[in-house]
Amino acid sequence: MSAALFGVMNAAIKLAEAHGAGLIEIMFWRQTGATLLVAAIVATGPGFASLRTRRMGAHVLRCALGLMSMTLNFATVMLLPLAEATTIGFSMPIFATILGALILHEPTGWRRWLAVLTGFAGVLIVTQPGSGHIPPLGVATGLGAALMGAIVSILLRTIGRTESGLTTVFWFSALSLLPLGIAYPFVARAHDPMTWFWLLAVGLLGGAAQIAMTRALHLGAVSVVVPMDYTALLWATLLGWLLFDRLPVTATWLGAPVIVASGLYIVWREHRRHIEETRAALTPG
C-alpha cells in the first residue's frame, strides 16, 4: 500500500510543479499535511501523550537528515521521469550495505559486495553516463537521495528501539516545519485551486505513505516488506504513462531488474544473517 501511495505522491509532486509550485513550497505542504494527518490519528486514538519523547536530540538529527533526503528526492522527481527517478531510488539498499560495513562494522561477505557492484552496474545501465538521455543533475540528486535515505534508515534503527512509528513520523514532520516555515514566505506564490489541490494531495499522500510503511515494518519482517516496495516501479510506470504520456526507455527496462535483483539479494542476506545471529544467541553455551 505504501508503494502505491508514494507513487501517487510523486505524480502529485510533478503536477504541482507543472502548475507553478516550487520545491520549498511542495516540501512545506508535504510536512504540513503529514503533521495534521498524524495529529488527527493520535487525537482519535492513543492521545497526544503518546507523542512524548525523551530522545528529542535524535529526532532533531533525524529531521535534519530527513530534510536533506527529501530535498534531493523531490528534486529528482521534478527533474526526471517518474520511472527513472523511482529506479535510481532503488539503489538505497546498496548504499545501506556500504554504510553498514563502514560505520556499523557489520559483517559483509563477498556475496553482498558482489551484489553492491551488480547494483551499481544496473545504475550505470539506467543512467548511461554521457549519453544525455536523462539529465545528469537528476541522476546526481537521485543517487544523493538514495545515499541520504540509507543514512536515515540506519538512524531509524536506533530511534525505533524506543519510539513508536507515529511518534517518529510526527516529530520529523513537525520539526521540519520550523526551517521550512521560515523559508516559505520568501518563496510563496499565488496559486490557482488546482495547484492547491495537488499541494494538499502531496501532504496527505506523503503522510499516509510514511505511516503505512512504518506500520508495515512494525508488523512484518523487513525481508517481506522491502521487496513489496519495488512495486513502486509499476505504479511509476503506470502513472507516467497515464498522466505524462511517458514510458520508460529501453535502458530503464534493462537496468531496473539488475538493481532490483541486487537489492532483493542484499535484503535476503541480511534476513539470513539476522536469523543466524538470533539462533546463536539462543543456543546455550
Whether residue 11 is predicted with pLDDT greater than 90 in this model: the reply is: yes
Digit-coded pLDDT (tens) for 93-144: 888 888 888 887 777 778 888 988 998 899 989 988 777 778 899 999 999 9
Res 174: pLDDT: 92
DSSP 50: G
Q: What percent of the chain shows pLDDT beyond 90?
A: 44
How far is residue 118 from each of residues 28, 122, 123, measured CA to CA in Å?
37, 6, 9
Instruction: Judge contact between 76 and 88, C-beta under 8 A.
Output: yes
| Burial profile 146-156: b = 16 or more Cβ within 10 angstroms, e = fewer | bbbbbbbbbeb
Res 224: pLDDT: 46
Cβ within 8 Å of residue 9, ≥6 positions away: 30, 201, 202, 205, 206, 209
Closest CA to 176 of 8, 3, 17, 38: 38
Instruction: Judge contact between 278 and 110, C-beta under 8 A.
Output: no
Instruction: Judge contact between 2 and 162, C-beta under 8 A.
Output: no
Whether residue 18 is predicted with pLDDT greater than 80 in this model: the reply is: yes
Give the SS3 label for residue 200. helix
What the block records as the C-alpha cell of 235 is: 505504479
Q: Which H or E element spans position 181?
A: helix 165-187
Q: What percent of the chain shows pLDDT beyond 70?
A: 89
* Number of Cβ within a 10 Å radius of residue 194: 13
Closest CA to 86 of 13, 26, 25: 13
* Number of Cβ within a 10 Å radius of residue 225: 18
Res 284: pLDDT: 61
Whether residue 179 is predicted with pLDDT greater than 90 in this model: the reply is: yes
Least confident interval from 88-92, 153-157, 159-163, 277-281: 277-281
**C-alpha torsion angle, residues 152, 75, 194, 248 (rounded to 10):** -100
Say which residue, 140 or 222, is predicted with more confidence.
140
Res 267: pLDDT: 77
Round to whole Å and give the CA distance between 57 and 150: 19
Round to whole Å and give the CA distance between 87 and 116: 15
**Please, what is the average pLDDT of the chain?**
86
Res 279: pLDDT: 67
pLDDT band at 274 (very low <50, low <70, confident <90, very high): low
* Number of Cβ within a 10 Å radius of residue 239: 22
Res 223: pLDDT: 44
Number of residues that this document lists for the chain: 285
Round to whole Å and give the CA distance between 190 and 60: 31
Digit-coded pLDDT (tens) for 252-265: 999 999 988 888 88
Q: Which H or E element spans position 162?
A: none
Whether residue 162 is predicted with pLDDT greater than 90 in this model: the reply is: no
Whether residue 285 is predicted with pLDDT greater than 60 in this model: the reply is: no
